[in-house]
Structure 1
Amino acid sequence: MELRRRVLLLPGQGAQRERMAAGLHGVREEFTEPMEAFFARMDALSGSDPSRRSAGGRDGARLRTAWLRPAPSPDMDDSTVTQPLLLAVGHALGRALGAAGAGPDVLLGHSVGELAAAVLAGVFDAADIAVLAGARSRLLTDTGRGGMLVVAGAAEDLPASLGPGVAVAALNGPRQTVLAGPAPALAATAELLRGRGTTVRALRSGHAFHSPAMAGRALRYGEALAALGPRAPRAGVTVVSTRTAAPVTVRQARDPHFWGGQLATPVRYWPALRWLLDTWGRRPGLLLLDGSADRSLSAPARHHPAVRDGASEIVPLLARGRDCGGPEDERVFTAALNRLAESGSQTVVS
C-alpha cells in the first residue's frame, strides 16, 4: 500500500517569533543537542575571527540569549540574529523528527529555511551549519537599510510601477505577496497601496531580501558556499526549491550559486507548495508538517482542494501565539508524532 509522504515546511524571515520552539529545548535531547552544538560552533568561529574578537566574540552565546529571551525582544528584528536562529531551529526540528522515526520525505523551506532543508537533505554537512549562518550574517552588516512589506493581494493585481528599487520578493499564497526595497520607497509604496484599499503590513526585517538590492551579496554568499562543497541530496529525500517551484536537481544542488543566489531572487513559496499538492496531494496524499511558530507556512494550503477534501493533512509541530516557546511546544510536538504514527506514514522513495 502506498503511504503518505511527510513534507517538512521550514520558515524564513518574517515568521520568526520570540522563543520559537524553545519549549523543546532541554526537554527533547534530539532537539537540544543540535541547538547547543550550533551555539558552541558559532562561539568557536567568532573566537577565531579577529574582527569578531575585537567586538566581543561569543556569537553563539549572544544568539542563545536572544533566542531564549521572552517577548518583546527587539533582537528578533535584527536579521543577523533571526537568520541564524531560523536556520538552526529548522535544522533541529528536522533532526528531532528523524530521531523519533518521523523524518521527512520532502523538504520545503522558505528563504533561509531552504538552507535548513539543504542541510537536512545532506547537501551541506550539519557541522557546517554555523559556517552557513555566519557567512550569511556577515553579508548583512553592510547591506544598507531596507525592508519588506506583506501585501494582501496577488502579484498580478499590484500597480505596474511600485517605486524605485521596490520589487516582488515572495509569493506566499494565492493572495499574499511580499515586496522588498529601500525603506523610503517601500514606505511610499505602502501608502500608495493603502490608498487603493489594499491591506499591507511591514515584516520584521531591516533588509530588502530577495530583491535586486541583494544581488552583490548573493554572489559573495555563493562564493562562500563553494568552500563547503555542496552535494546532491541523499537518496529518498526530495528538496522542493522555492526558486524554481520544482524538485532540486543534482546539478542545482551541487552549484553553490544556486543556494547563494536565493538572497536576490523571489521566493516562490506558494507555487512550490501548490506543485507539491497538485502532484502528490491526492490520495494517499501528504502530511504537511508546519515548522513555523505562527502556522503561516500551512495557511495557504488550507484552500487547496487536496487539503479541503482530506486527502492531505496539515500537522503543526509547534505552539503559537502566547503559548509559543513554552511547555505547549512539547505537547504540540508530541501530538504531531502521535498523529504521524497513527497515519502509518513511512518514508516513500521518490
Structure 2
Amino acid sequence: MTSASFRLRQHRPAHHHGERVIRQIGVALGPCAGGAASTAMSGRPALRPADSMAGVPVMAPRPFAFLLPGQGAQHPRMAVGLYESEPDFAAIVDEFFEMMGPEGKETRSDWLSESPRLPVDSGRRAQPLLFVIGYAVGRLLCDRGVRPSVLLGHSVGELAAATLAGVFDLEAAARIMSARCRALDAAPPGGLLAVAAPYGQVLDLLGARCAAEGVAVGAVNAPRQTVLAGPAGELARVEKDLTAQGLTSRRVRAVEPFHSPVMDEVARQFEKAVARESLGLPRIPVQSSRTARPVGPEEAVDPAFWARQLAEPVLFWPALANLLDEGPRTVVETGPGRSLSAPALRHAAVREGRSEVVHVLPDERGDAGRMWREALERLLAMNARTHR
C-alpha cells in the first residue's frame, strides 16, 4: 500500500482510534509513494540500481538489531533452562527481581514453580518476566561481544530496549515495572485477538459499533497480521463476527486489553510512576514500535512517551520494515520463541539474503540452555567475520 493510499484513507469516516492508527502508520512510513511505504506493508522493497544490476546480494558486514518481545510471547517456565545453566543470566535476573521487592520475589517464585499462584498470562507475571528475560539476554549478548546497533521492542519489550539503551538504569526500571504491574490491577478484563488480514481490511470490518465499544487495532505485527484489543465480551463478539465473514483469528495470550483505548486510565496512572524517575538519552538507538522511527531526544526524556504505549497501537511491522529497508542486518530476538523473528522472516530483505534472523530461546518444547549455546556460538562466529 502506497503512502498516497494512506493519505486517501485518512479522509474516510472512522472511529478516532482507527484514524489514529492510520495516521500513525502514514507518518511512520514516510512521504515517498512506492518507496519505504510500499515496502513496509508488502514486504517487497523497491530495487535500488545496484540491486538490479548485481543479480545476487552483496555480502557485507551486518550490524546486529535486537528484537525484544512483549505480551503473547510468554509461556510457562520460559527461559528457566537458561536460568539454571547460565550463571551470568541468573545473576542479572536475580538482581532485577531483588530490586522489584516483594513483587519481584513472588514473580520469580511463580516463574520457577510448576504450580504458580498466578498464571503466566496474567500481566502481573508476563510483563516483568518478558521485560527481564529480554533485557538479560540482550545484556548477556553485549557482555559476550555481540553488540547491537539498534534496539526494537514490542510493547513491554520497548521498555526493556530503553533500559538496555540507558534511558533508565536497572533500578529505575524495576520500580517502573512494579508500578506497571500495580497499574494493571485497574485494567478491565479483556484480551487480544490476532487476525490474519491487513489492518485496513480489519478496520473496515470493525465498523463504528465495535470501535465505540472499545475494540480497536492494538498492533500491526505483519502485512497480514493485525491484532485487535478490547474488553472481554466485546472482543468475543467481534471474534464471532470476523469468523462469520471468513477471516481466521486466534487469541493472543493476554487477559488485559493492552493497546486499546480502554487502557487510557491505566496509562495515566503508569505515567505518574515513570515521571518520578530520571530519564536519559539512549546510548544505543531505539527504534520505537509506537512511532516506527527512532526515539528522539525529547521523546526519550518524556515520561508520557513510555507510559502511553499501554493505550496506543504497536506499529511493529512498520518499525521493523523501516529498519530492514535501511540496509543489511542480523536480527536477533532476545526473548522466548519466535513471535518477532517469524514476521522478520517474511521481509524481502531476509527472504533475498540481504539480512538474516537468529532467535536465541525456544518455545515451550525446546531446551533453552542448549538453544542459547548454539545461538551464541553462531552469533560470535558472525561477529568474528564482521570484525576481520
Q: TM-score, normalised by structure 2?
A: 0.79
- How far did 1:266 drift? 0.1
The partner residue of 2:285 within 229, 238, 241 is: 238
The partner residue of 2:182 within 138, 150, 155 is: 138
Equivalent residues of 2:75, 2:121 under 8 A apart: no
Give, as a single letter, the amino acid of the residue that structure 1 aligns with 2:108: R
**Which residue number in structure 2 is paired with residue 266 of structure 1?**
313
Cα 1:70/1:11, change in 2 over 3 Å: farther
- Say if 2:341 is the partner of 1:302: no
SS at match of 1:242: coil
- How far did 1:70 drift? 4.3
Distance in 2 (CA, whole Å) between partners of 1:229 and 1:154 is: 39
CA-atom RMSD, angstroms? 2.0
Distance in 2 (CA, whole Å) between partners of 1:80 and 1:255 is: 24
Cα 1:273/1:35, change in 2 over 3 Å: same
When the two structures are aligned, how many residues end up with a matched partner? 324
Cα 1:126/1:277, change in 2 over 3 Å: same
- Say if 2:193 is the partner of 1:149: yes
- Say if 2:240 is the partner of 1:191: yes
- How far did 1:345 drift? 6.2
Bigger shift: 214-223 or 90-99? 214-223
Percent of residue pairs bearing the same amino acid type: 45
Deviations 1:121-169 (A, max 9, x none): 0000012222011100111112221211111111111204161110000
- How far did 1:5 drift? 1.1
- How far did 1:15 drift? 1.0
Equivalent residues of 2:194, 2:249 under 8 A apart: yes
**Which residue number in structure 2 is paired with residue 225 of structure 1?**
274
Q: Which runs of 5+ in 2 are unaligned?
A: 1-58
Distance in 1 (CA, whole Å) between partners of 2:362 and 2:115 is: 15
Give, as a single letter, the amino acid of the residue that structure 2 aligns with 1:260: A
Distance in 1 (CA, whole Å) between partners of 2:233 and 2:157 is: 28
Bigger shift: 158-167 or 180-189? 158-167
Distance in 2 (CA, whole Å) between partners of 1:346 and 1:241 is: 29
**Which residue number in structure 1 is paired with residue 383 of structure 2?**
344
Equivalent residues of 2:137, 2:335 under 8 A apart: no
Distance in 1 (CA, whole Å) between partners of 2:363 and 2:116 is: 15
Equivalent residues of 1:18, 1:73 under 8 A apart: no
**Which residue number in structure 2 is paired with residue 95 of structure 1?**
139
The partner residue of 1:249 within 278, 296, 299 is: 296
Distance in 2 (CA, whole Å) between partners of 1:347 and 1:216 is: 47
Q: Which runs of 5+ in 1 are unaligned?
A: 44-57
The partner residue of 2:159 within 115, 139, 144 is: 115
Give, as a single letter, the amino acid of the residue that structure 1 aligns with 2:281: A
Distance in 1 (CA, whole Å) between partners of 2:214 and 2:269 is: 21
Distance in 1 (CA, whole Å) between partners of 2:64 and 2:105 is: 34
Distance in 2 (CA, whole Å) between partners of 1:277 and 1:238 is: 15
The partner residue of 1:10 within 68, 74, 82 is: 68
Cα 1:7/1:346, change in 2 over 3 Å: farther
Q: Which has the larger radius of gyration?
A: 2
Equivalent residues of 1:30, 1:95 under 8 A apart: no
Equivalent residues of 1:171, 1:177 under 8 A apart: yes
**Which residue number in structure 1 is paired with residue 89 of structure 2?**
31
SS at match of 1:303: coil
Equivalent residues of 1:245, 1:269 under 8 A apart: yes
Cα 1:16/1:73, change in 2 over 3 Å: farther
SS at match of 1:108: strand
Bigger shift: 252-261 or 214-223? 214-223
- How far did 1:292 drift? 3.4
Cα 1:337/1:294, change in 2 over 3 Å: closer
**Which residue number in structure 1 is paired with residue 168 of structure 2?**
124
Distance in 2 (CA, whole Å) between partners of 1:310 and 1:265 is: 33
Equivalent residues of 1:5, 1:346 under 8 A apart: no
SS at match of 2:337: coil
- How far did 1:293 drift? 2.1
Equivalent residues of 1:135, 1:224 under 8 A apart: yes
SS at match of 2:287: strand
Distance in 2 (CA, whole Å) between partners of 1:104 and 1:345 is: 14
SS at match of 1:105: strand
SS at match of 1:147: strand
